[in-house]
Structure 1
Amino acid sequence: MRVLFAGTPAVAVPSLEALIGAGFDVVAVLTRPDAPTGRKRIMTPSPVAARASELGIDLIHASKVDAGVTERIAGYQPDVAAIVAYGGLIPKAALGVPRHGWINLHFSLLPAWRGAAPVQRSVIAGDDVTGAATFLLEEGLDTGPVFGTLTETVRPEDTAGDLLERLSLSGAVLLSQTLSAIDAGKAAPQPQQGDVSLAPKLTLDDGRLDWRQPALAINRRSRGVTPEPGAWTMLDGQRVKLEPVAMRPDVRDLAPGHLRAEGRNVLVGTGSHAVQLGRIQPAGKKMMPSADWARGLATPENVEFE
C-alpha cells in the first residue's frame, strides 16, 4: 500500500519509522518548512523532515495544504495518508486524494480533548488515564470515526513531554496496525461516543502559575505546560521560568506567592498548602537549582511571586 506520511515534530518520527518497519511503501512525506531554532535562530528542518531525508524519502515542505500542494500529493498516487501532528488543516480537496482517506493518530481518547494540545490539557485537567486513537480525518475538528484506541496511565510526576513521548511510541504501533487492517479490508471505524472536550493550542499565558490556586492545580499546570510553553511567574516585574513544582502538603503557613528557604528546599505558598520549587530561570540567566538561586537573595522570606 502506497502511503503519504504527514508530520512535523519529534513525536511523529516513531510513526514514520513504524510504517517503514512494517513494510509500507512511504512514497512521500508532507511536513512544515524549516524553522529558526536556538538563540542564533538557525533555520532547521523539522524532526520528521530530517528523518525522512535520512531514509531517502521525498519531501513536500508546506505550511498549508493549498491547491499546489494537493496536486503534488496526488502525483504520488497514495492509497492512504497517515497524519501525526502535521500542524495544519487538510482541506476537503486534499482529503479526497487517497482512496482510503487520511488516517490521523491523535493523542487522546476521542472525543475527549479534540484539538492541538490533547496531552497538555489532559495533564492540566488531572486525568488519571489518557491514550491515543486512530481515526478517519474529516473536515470537522477531530470528529471522524475511530479505527482503534489505546490507553495510558498518567503518572503523578508526568510532564506533558514525558506522557507524549510514551504515547508517540505506543501510538506508532497503533497507527501501523490500523493501516494494516485497512490494507487487509478488515478495518471497521466506529462513530465517536462520549463527552466532547476541546484542547486548543497552549499560549504563553497558559504557563503562568496563579499562586492563589490550590497546590494541586498549580502542580498539574506546571507539569502540563512542560516543556512548552513552560511554567512561569512574575517577580519584580520580570518573568521567571520554572520547572514543575512538587507538592508539600506538610507546609501550610505560607501565604500565596510567598517564599521560604529550608536548606536545599525552596517553598512557595499557594491557595492551599505549599509547593516546592525545582529549577528556576531568572530573567536573563540560565536555569539553575532553586536553592542556588535563593542563596543569592538577601532576604528570601521577603520575596513574593506575583
Structure 2
Amino acid sequence: MRVVFAGTPAPAVPALRALLDSPRHDVVAVVTRPDAPAGRGRTLTRSPVGALADEHGLEVLTPARASDPDFLARLAELAPDCCPVVAYGALLPEKALAVPRHGWINLHFSLLPAWRGAAPVQAAIRHGDEITGATTFRIVPELDAGPAFGVVTEEVRADDTAGALLERLSVSGAELLVKTLDGIEDGTLHAEEQPTENVSYAPKVTAEDAKVDFAAPAQAVDRMIRSVTPDPGAWAWLGQERFKLGPVSVVDTEDLQPGELLLQRRRVLVGTATTAVELGEVQARGKKRMAATDWARGAHIEQGLKLQ
C-alpha cells in the first residue's frame, strides 16, 4: 500500500518506524508540523517524525495549515492509497480527507469513544482508569468520531506517569496501526461505527491545569501529578516562589492540613484532604530537579509552611 504518514512528536515515531519496516507498505512522504524553536537558543528544530523521515531520505511536507493549496496539490500528486496519522497536531480539511481512497487512518491513544481529544492518556490517569489502550479509526470531520477498525488494551499501572504509559501505547499502537493497514489492503478489515454512549472528552492540558490542589484527596493528588508528568509538569506555590513537583507517594499520616509541609529525616510530607503524600522530586525555577529532602534542606524550609 502506498502511504503518506502524518505525525509530529516522539510518540508517533514508533508507528513511522513500523511502517518503514513493513514490507507491505511504501511510505512515499511524511507530513509533520513546521520546524519550531527549541532549546535555550530557540533554534528551529525538525519534529521527531520529520527527523526520522530525513534519515530515510523521505520527502517531508510541513504545511502551516493542511488546507494550504500547495500542500493539497502535492498530496494529490503523491496519490497515496492511505494516510496513517499519529498525533499530527493539526486539523485536516475535507479536501485533504478526500485524497486517499482508503482515507486517513488515525491511531488514537484511548479506547474510543472514551477520551476523544488531545490528552487521552493524561485523562485516563487523572480519572483513575484501570484499563486504557489505543484505537485505529477513519478520520471524519467530527473530533475522533470516525468508524473504528481495531483496538489494543493496556493496563494503567499504579505508578504510571503520562510519559511512561504513552511510551508503551506508542509501541503497541504502532503494531495495531500496521495490522490495520494490512487488513484494509487485504479487504479483511472493515470499520464499525463507534458507540454513541459513554463518550468522554480529554481537552489539551495547559500549564494552569497542572497546578496541584492539595485540598483534594491524596489519591487524586497522586493521579493528577502523574497525569501531567513529564509535560506540562505539576507545580505549586511556596510563598512567592513556584516549584515543579514530581510524582508523589500516598502515606498514612493524617494530621496535616492541606498543603502543610512536614520535614522528616528521610522524607518530606505534604497534607491533603485525606492522608498525606510524600514528595519525590522538586525543581525550583531555573534549577535542576532534586530529591525533596535535599530541596528542603537547601531552601531552609521551615515546619508548617504550606504549598498552595
Q: Deviations over 1:203-262 (max 9, x none)?
A: 0111100010000110000000011110000111222101111111x1001111110111
CA distance, structure 2, for counterparts of residue 68 and residue 126 of structure 1? 45
5+ residue gaps in structure 2? none
Q: Is the partner of 2:303 in helix, strand or coil?
A: helix
Which of 229, 232, 239 in structure 2 is aligned with 1:229?
232
The one-letter code of the counterpart of 1:211 is: F
- Find the counterpart in structure 1 of residue 173 from structure 2: 171
Alpha-carbon shift at residue 297 of structure 1 (Å): 4.1
- Find the counterpart in structure 1 of residue 158 from structure 2: 156
Q: How many residues align?
A: 305
Return 135-144 or 53-62, whichever deviates more: 53-62
RMSD between superposed Cα atoms in Å: 1.0
Q: Is the partner of 1:301 in helix, strand or coil?
A: coil
List aligned pairs for 1:20-39, cutoff 5 A. 20-23=20-23, 24-39=25-40
TM-score by length of 2: 0.97
Alpha-carbon shift at residue 63 of structure 1 (Å): 3.3
CA distance, structure 2, for counterparts of residue 31 and residue 196 of structure 1? 29
| Runs of 4+ with deviation above 6 angstroms | none
List aligned pairs for 1:55-134, cutoff 5 A. 55-66=56-67, 67-134=69-136
Q: Is the partner of 1:14 in helix, strand or coil?
A: helix
TM-score by length of 1: 0.98
Q: Is the partner of 1:244 in helix, strand or coil?
A: coil
Cα 1:298–1:12 shift into 2, 3 Å: closer
5+ residue gaps in structure 1? none
- Find the counterpart in structure 2 of residue 286 from structure 1: 288
List aligned pairs for 1:156-235, cutoff 5 A. 156-193=158-195, 194-235=197-238
- Find the counterpart in structure 1 of residue 257 from structure 2: 255
* Kept after mapping to 2: 8 A contact 1:259/1:301: yes
Does residue 143 of the first structure (1) align with residue 145 of the second (2)?
A: yes
CA distance, structure 2, for counterparts of residue 246 and residue 62 of structure 1? 44
Q: Deviations over 1:122-172 (max 9, x none)?
A: 111110000000000000000000000011000000000000000000000
Q: Is the partner of 1:300 in helix, strand or coil?
A: coil
The one-letter code of the counterpart of 1:2 is: R
Q: Identity of counterpart residues, as a percentage?
A: 53
